[in-house]
Each structure stands twice: as C-alpha cells, then as structure tokens.
Amino acid sequence: MSQYASWRVGAVAPLIVYPKNLGEFINVIKEAKERKIKFYLSGNGSNCLFVKLSETIIISTKKLNRIKFLGEGRIVVESGASLNLVLNTSLKKGFVGFEFSTGIPGTIGGALITNAGANGGTISESLESVFFLKNNKEIEVQKNALTFGYRHSSIRRKDIVTKAKFKLTVGDTDESRRNIKKYIKHRNGTQPVKYPSAGSVFMNMDNAKAGKIIEDLGLKGLSIGGAKVSELHANYIINTGNAKIEDIKGLIEEIQEIAKTKEGILLSTEVKIINE
C-alpha cells in the first residue's frame, strides 16, 4: 500500500482489485462475501495507515468516478470520484457548492465516512442522499436518515457506499474560482503540502485544536525514523522520505502517551489505522 496510500507507506496487501464500473464492484463484493474473503474498501487512501493486511484484500473505488447531472443542480456521483473532479466538473457546468473540498485529496466515499470538510464547509451540506449496497442491491438513503458531525457520520465500516446525490446551485463561478485560489494559497502556507502525509492525524477536541495541543506540548519536529511531526502544522505527521509503518504508528502512539501523561488529554485519531 506504499504505492497507494498518501503517506507513501503501508503493508503489503495480498491483492488490490480495481473494479472498472459499479456492476463489477457489486460482483467483486458479492464474490468476496461468498468466498469469505476479508476485504477493505479504499478510495484514495488519504486518511489511512495500513499496518497489517495479511488476510485482507483491498477493493479500490478509484475507477468508479462517473458523475451524472440530473438537472436543477442535482448530481449523482460514484463513490470513487475525487472531490477535485466533482468540484471542477460542476464549476464547468456553472454550479457552485463544492468549493469546501479544495485541497482535500479524497474520494466521495472516503469523504462521507468522516464528513470531510475544509474552508468553512463539509461534504454533508449539499448532500441529498447516499446509495448503499445491501444484499447485492443498491438502496438510496435520504440524508435525514443519517447523522453527520465534526469528522463523523453514522455510516459504519461495514456500509458500502456506491454513489451519492448532491444538490448544487447555479452561482458565480468566477467568484468560486477566486475563493479556490485563496484556499489553496492558505493551505500551501499553513500545511506541509510537499511531504507525504494523511492530513490531520488527530481529532480536534471540543475546546481545543489537536494541532495546538501538540504544539503546546513542544512536540513540533519530534521524529521517529522517517516520521516527523510537521514544524508547519503540528497535527500533521510527515514522511520525510523513508518512514516505515512502525515509525508513523510509533509517533502517533508517542504523541498520545505524552498528551495523556502530561495533560490528561486523550487524543483520538482521525486517520484510520488498519491492523486487520
């Protein structure tokens, strides 16, 4: 998974399957279930540390990236479409409402799991419904039957997202593009975009940002092997070039231990740690 995940580090998977369309995706999942093969769904791998996968195959949604415009700003997007593709395609058609996603390197499926957000918005805001795979068939669930909060949604690990429907609005796309430039500039100045990472590692607390907690503990620059707490943004652990899985995992655990013993703070991870 070092070739796949944004951290450029990861366990060896027995197999990575890239279904080319939704029909293939549904068949692959059906077959894996029938043959009792453990599988893990992966979008862009930008929120995951793959520690161990000896018996688990990866089913990638990367090729499920079709976007259908239904009229009146409604779009149905397959779960593997990148947020960036959705943003650019909708702007070209004159619709605004997806600018929040600027700079988040994820797919629709991955973003729905954590209610990904940035730049003052989240994916759930323009969401109308999510399509799930249940008993080898797609079912559509309206947004009001789901819950979304800060880096949280009621979509569980066993739920399989096939598509999602959004309602965008006709708007000033020139203004959107200007805002996008501002968001990118801000991100480039405040986050270590040149190094492989998985974005923010820890969840913010109700009353404090995880990055501020880590910075106040004096942990900026702390490193294990090739994994390092970013000097620019303390909630990022960067791969400085040759980090191993254990380096990143070890650094996450060390930060948690220091926060607990020095401040009594329990930092939980936003990134998913896949250890079978």
Q: Kindly list the catalytic residues.
A: 151, 200, 270
Distance CA 119, CA 161 (A): 25
User: Taking CB under 6 A as the rule, which mask of x and - marks residues 52-81 in contact with ligand FAD?
Assistant: ---------x-----------------x--
Kindly tell me which of 90 and 119 has the beta carbon lying closer to ligand FAD: 119
Segment near ligand FAD (CB under 6 A); pick from 87-95, 104-112, 165-173, 216-224: 104-112
Kindly tell me which of 198 and 234 has the beta carbon lying closer to ligand FAD: 198
Q: For the CB of residue 60, give the shortest distance to ligand FAD in the complex, in Å.
A: 8
Segment near ligand FAD (CB under 6 A); pick from 99-107, 203-211, 227-235, 251-259: 99-107
Kindly tell me which of 133 and 213 has the beta carbon lying closer to ligand FAD: 133
Instruction: Report if residue 211 touches ligand FAD, rule: CB under 6 A.
Output: no
Crossing angle of the two packed helices 173-190 and 83-92, in degrees rounded to 10: 150
Among 29, 58, 104, 267, binds ligand FAD (CB under 6 A): 104
Kindly tell me which of 205 and 258 has the beta carbon lying closer to ligand FAD: 205
DSSP lists the bridge partners of residue 93 as none
Segment near ligand FAD (CB under 6 A); pick from 31-39, 196-204, 217-225, 246-254: 196-204
Q: How many CA atoms lie within 13 A of 154 on its CB side?
A: 9
Segment near ligand FAD (CB under 6 A); pick from 36-44, 89-97, 201-209, 256-264: 36-44
Unique residue bearing structure tokens 């996603």: 101
Residues 213-242 close enough to bind ligand FAD by CB under 6 A: none
Residue ranges that bind ligand FAD, judged by CB under 6 A? 6, 40-48, 61, 79, 104-107, 109-111, 113-114, 116-118, 159-161, 197-199, 272
